[in-house]
Amino acid sequence: MSLSLSPRPLLLGALLVATSLIAATAVAEEPRSRLDVQAEARLDVTPDRATLSARLWERTPAIARRDDTTSDPDALREARDRLETRAATLIGTLEEAGLERETISAGSLNVQPEYLPDARRDDGEHEALTRTRLERPFRIEVEDLARLPVLLDALTEAGVDALDGVTYDLADRDAASDEALVKALERARHKAELMADTLGVSLGPVVGVSENRSPVFQPRMMAMSADAREGAPQAEYRPGTISIEAGVSVSWEIEPRP
């Protein structure tokens, strides 16, 4: 006795299974509703350290401009000796004011010609003059801002030719940048919860997050001149605050509330 099955029921069953799989896949791939939020935050931080920038320079006597030289070798050597003597005196003055030697950085010697306006000689003729300027820059790291006025006094008393300014900074920049980023994320969460409550939906898991603006740290510069303290022995130096800004984009899944 033989039993034969019609292929039609088998084909119908296969089609039903395939249709069910396609429908399930379509449901699984259906995009979820989401809420996208952008937020920014600014953190104002009080500096806790500073850098003083100053310069010393010496000049050779002016001489008639020639094609082969711009200064007398002996005058150049004497100017350099004077500059090095003043530099040593400056470092000693700062150490007496309580600074450690490693916090004082003396830059490389810079030598450059200076061309002066033509001078009138006794015979009425004009003569082109030139001289050489030798310069040494200094950077002083200050970790106790309360001592800043004393150090500025020491620089002035040491006879610096230029005070280029004070740059205020933070000892731990990373911690401040992290705090700014956390504030931006908290702001994004607050905005998302406010929008969800207003729209009557519930926040699901976070499905995406990115930085729109990485925390940017810019030290604060305060310019001044070498005579900034003349006539104001009790002047105060207020560092103000340094602003750090951060921005983020965050996405949440959302669904209607029951």
- How far apart, in whole angstroms, are the C-alpha atoms of residue 95 and residue 161? 19
Q: Tell me, what's the pLDDT at 6?
A: 53
Residue-averaged pLDDT of the chain: 82
What pLDDT, on the 0 to 100 scale, is given for residue 234? 45
Q: What is the pLDDT along the chain (258 residues), one digit of tens a residue?
A: 444 445 555 444 544 444 554 444 444 455 689 999 999 999 999 999 999 999 999 999 988 776 555 568 889 999 999 999 999 999 999 999 888 989 999 999 999 988 887 666 555 566 788 889 999 999 999 999 988 888 988 898 888 999 988 999 999 999 999 999 999 999 999 999 999 999 999 999 999 999 998 877 777 777 665 444 444 444 556 778 899 999 999 999 999 987
The pLDDT of residue 18 is 47
**Spatial CA neighbour of 113 closest among 147, 86, 79:** 79
Three-state DSSP string of 13-38: HHHHHHHHHHHHHHHHHCCCCEEEEE
CA dihedral (238, 239, 240, 244) in degrees, to 10, reads: 180
Residue 220's φ and ψ, nearest 5 degrees, are -95, 130
Contacts of range 120-129, beta carbons closer than 8 Å, 24 or more positions apart: 127/64, 127/65, 128/64, 128/65, 129/62, 129/63, 129/64, 129/65
Q: Please determine, looking at this structure, whether the domain spanning 33-48+172-221+241-258 carries the CATH number 3.40.640.10.
A: no
Residues in CB range of 82: below 8 A, 6 or more apart: 58
- Residue 97's Cβ-count burial label (10 Å; 0-12, 13-18, 19+) is middle
Give the homologous superfamily in CATH for domain 49-119+127-169.
Protein of unknown function (DUF541), domain 2 (3.30.70.2970)
Where in the sequence of the chain do the CATH 3.30.70.2970 domains occur? 49-119+127-169
CA–CA separation, 132 and 63 (whole Å) = 10
Domain with CATH 3.30.110.170 in the chain: 33-48+172-221+241-258
Contact indicator for 94, 152 with CB cutoff of 8 Å: no
Q: What is the pLDDT of residue 25?
A: 46
Name the residue among 239, 250, 186, 241 with its Cα closest to residue 217: 241
pTM comes to 0.68
pLDDT number for residue 240: 82
Q: In this predicted structure, what is the pLDDT of residue 64?
A: 76
Reduced to 3 states (helix: H, G, I; strand: E, B; else coil), residue 6 is coil
